[in-house]
Structure 1
Amino acid sequence: MNISENTVVSLTYELHTTNQEGQQVFVEKADEENALVFLYGVGMMLPKFEEHLTGLTVGDEYSFELSAVDGYGEKDPGAFADLPISMFTEQGAEAPNVGDVIPLQDNNGNQFRAGVTAVHEQTISVDLNHPMAGKNLIFAGKILSVREATPEELTHGHAHGADGHEEH
């Protein structure tokens, strides 16, 4: 069976980006024991990621690079903010450090993460861009399984495991 809309795909991958010198830098991987399993074609994955997998079948290996625009976008220079340090130290907690990734919540209750870029006496500067924004994404891996999604998975909009029996 080929990867197409409404199929459940299980695959391995290694993800790399490139540094300032143009050298590849390892980011993360999913191996056969911890494969990535997803419902293809429902918007769970980056659209260009799925596009590169279209038509592949079990055993196929793949390797491709997504530009920053096709990944998580370019860095938005307006996506930086200074937050009151009191948000983090109110209940006796220590202020975050530069390089920390902190959980935040918007006015609608949506949760997201921000990277701490500076700590000042009264404020903490954070980068609200996705950590992979501005970076090309280099993927390589292998297709482990492809199957038709179950009616329940289609209703829920996500895969229930490689074999379709994962409970939630």
Structure 2
Amino acid sequence: MSERSIEERQAEFSCDLLDIEQFIVNVDGHEESPLVYRRDDEQLPNRVHFLIPEGANYNITIKYKVKKRPLKKTSFHQIVKKRGFTVRDRKVPMHDDADVNIDEDYVHEAILPHDQVPSGFLVRGQYSGQSFIYEDDEVIWNQDFIFEIIKKGNKPTMGGYD
């Protein structure tokens, strides 16, 4: 993968209606070191790539700013695939209403329900995925990512720097 400019990478975290400020994966047992993708990080990886141990419980927190107009009935949808086959598909509500950010320091925060990584040596490896934010039934933001299941006992980490 060719290296992209920081501006190109940051643009993936924005759309006409919102800016994703942080996308955080909190893995139970590793609370001291959540996996955080931040728009303002100068070390922002070339791609979103999470490495999480098999069997781990985790949840996602999305911090974002609303632009232009309030958002109504937002939800987060995530699809994970292995070799073209969907292995995980979940859609969860975020907020009923999210007002336009007037205060520059304020961010909306959506803490999504816990989920669990499958377990067993057969499930280890890389998966491709897509995350979407919907307003009602319309996609307003999406992001491709790589989800890698690693051996239990290893520390969760971020990849995508190569």
TM-score above 0.5? no
Structure with bigger gyration radius: 1
RCO (CA 8 Å, sep 6+): is it higher in 1 or 2?
Answer: 1
Larger proportion of helix: 1
TM normalised by structure 1 equals 0.29
